Amino acid sequence: MLSQITICPMSEEDLNDVLLIEAASFPHPWNRTHFLDELKSPHSFPLVAFDAGGRVAGYICAMQVLDEGHILDVAVRPDLRGCGIGRLLVEKVLGMCRQSGADYVSLEVRPSNLAAVELYRRMGFIVTGRRPRYYHDGEDALLMEFIFGDNEEEGDAV
């Protein structure tokens, strides 16, 4: 299955499918304007994973400024979760950031999103802090980082 996944830069034509996945994934989803802003930003590199049939299987929005990469948003189509597509997308971003000279990649994740937290830990991300009441519903965010060189031996990411 994963061998049939293709990762490409996101385009405006992908947004209808991306928005459906976003709405199915988050209680307070990004809207079209958020994604359009990411498509226009010189620091951002939104990516889309396509399945063998050419349908959007998942996406990731990330950015890099100087030596810091940051994952802003990642989601996989509900019927394909647990198949490794999210991992592929994160690995792609880690590789791109490393090649562009980033020292680390950070992200925020809900502590209640146990599957995501565990995936990031298996990939070598470490918890570096917490943002109190970060999300609309008052839930904190865990701050996690993948530090190139340090975490690569612990995780099996890149």
Residue 111's contacts (CB-CB under 8 Å, 6 or more residues apart) are: 117, 139, 140, 141, 142
Which of 36, 47, 59, 150 lies closest to 96, judged by CA? 47
**Residue of 68, 108, 152, 154 marked catalytic:** 108
Residue 113 in tokens: 């999103």
Distance from C-alpha of 27 to C-alpha of 8, rounded to nearest angstrom: 26
List the beta bridge partners of residue 56: 50
Backbone angles phi, psi at 72, to 5 degrees: -95, -40
Task: Supply the DSSP symbol for 129.
Answer: E
Most distant CA pair in the chain: distance in Å?
A: 41
Contact (Cβ atoms closer than 8 angstroms) between residue 81 and residue 46: no
Task: Supply the DSSP symbol for 44.
Answer: B
Residue 120 annotated among the catalytic residues of the structure: yes
**Residue of 59, 104, 120, 145 marked catalytic:** 120
Active site (catalytic) residues: 108, 120
